[in-house]
């Protein structure tokens, strides 16, 4: 991420947005179980909030500096931080009772890799487990924030078919004016 984007993702504004709007909308009344995977926590504002909701939370962060910082920050808590690539998750099949992806899919550098990530999440959660997430819609603000940064917007109109192709069922996609959320269950 570029410096502007890093600053926004660590800001008090974004933390309040996550607490008040994003997480309640994404998690709604879904049941994730007690051993949840978070894909792409970035600086960890989402992790701060998620760890209060689940017994165990494992985060996978590709950026080694962020992963090291998160591991230090969450040492001794219910959070396990793994530095790794979510397109090749280092976990056994069915390891988790649920998974979340919060405003990170657009950072995956191609739709092919995004689809590989979806398949990997499906593989590592148990049959019947929920995968839910949120991502931003493509607009001029998103393009501005992502100057000199990876931005591969996810088209919400194709998300259902992509999740189904990855092995998910009972798929829901809801769009508002700035973002969309999705949920699906491993078939």
CATH number (domain holding residue 145): 3.40.50.150
Instruction: State how far the alpha carbon of 57 is from the alpha carbons of 9, 50, 93, 100, 132, in Å.
Output: 20, 8, 17, 10, 15
Query: pLDDT at position 149, please?
Result: 76
The residue among 90, 89, 81, 93 whose CA lies nearest residue 41 is 81
The answer to whether residue 103 sits within a structural domain is: yes
Structure tokens that stand for 42 in this block: 């970035």
- What residue numbers bound the domain in which 97 lies? 3-23+33-186
Query: pLDDT at position 6, please?
Result: 64
Total count of domains within the chain: 1
Strands (E) across 26-178 are located at 35-39, 56-61, 79-83, 96-102, 125-136, 168-175
Q: Does an H or E element contain 179, and which?
A: strand 179-186
The answer to whether residue 177 sits within a structural domain is: yes
Q: How would you class 113 by CB atoms within 10 Å of its CB: exposed for 0-12, middle for 13-18, buried for 19 or more?
A: middle
Q: How would you class 157 by CB atoms within 10 Å of its CB: exposed for 0-12, middle for 13-18, buried for 19 or more?
A: exposed
Query: pLDDT at position 38, please?
Result: 98
The answer to whether residue 69 sits within a structural domain is: yes
The answer to whether residue 117 sits within a structural domain is: yes
Q: Is the pTM above the cut of 0.85?
A: yes
How far is Cα 46 from Cα 102, in angstroms, rounded to an integer?
A: 7
Eight-state DSSP code of residue 100: E
Query: pLDDT at position 151, please?
Result: 78
Q: How would you class 120 by CB atoms within 10 Å of its CB: exposed for 0-12, middle for 13-18, buried for 19 or more?
A: buried
Report CA dihedral (124, 170, 106, 75) to the nearest 10 degrees: -40
The answer to whether residue 72 sits within a structural domain is: yes
From its phi and psi, is residue 132 left (phi > 0), alpha (psi between -120 and 50) or beta? Answer: beta
The answer to whether residue 52 sits within a structural domain is: yes
The answer to whether residue 40 sits within a structural domain is: yes
- Tens of pLDDT along the chain (187 residues) come to 656 656 666 677 778 888 888 899 999 889 999 999 999 998 899 999 999 999 999 999 999 999 999 999 999 999 999 999 999 999 999 999 999 999 899 899 999 999 999 999 999 999 999 999 999 887 767 766 767 777 789 999 999 999 999 999 999 999 998 899 999 999 9
The answer to whether residue 28 sits within a structural domain is: no
């Amino acid at each position: 991420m570029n410096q502007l984007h890093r600053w926004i993702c660590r800001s008090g504004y974004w933390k309040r947005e996550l607490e008040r709007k994003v997480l309640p909308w994404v998690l709604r009344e879904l049941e994730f179980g007690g051993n949840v995977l978070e894909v792409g926590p970035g600086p960890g504002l989402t992790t701060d909030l998620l760890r209060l909701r689940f017994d165990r939370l494992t985060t996978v962060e590709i950026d080694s500096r962020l992963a090291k910082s998160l591991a230090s920050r969450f040492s001794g808590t219910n959070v396990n931080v793994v530095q790794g690539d979510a397109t090749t998750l280092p976990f056994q099949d069915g390891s988790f009772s649920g998974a979340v992806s919060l405003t990170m899919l657009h950072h995956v550098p191609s739709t092919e890799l995004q689809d590989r990530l979806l398949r990997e999440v499906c593989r590592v959660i148990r049959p019947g487990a929920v995968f839910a997430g949120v991502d931003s819609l493509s607009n001029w603000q998103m393009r501005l924030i992502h100057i000199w940064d990876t931005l591969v917007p996810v088209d919400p109109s194709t998300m259902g078919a992509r999740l189904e192709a990855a092995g998910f069922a009972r798929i829901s996609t809801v769009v508002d004016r700035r973002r969309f959320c999705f949920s699906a269950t491993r078939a």
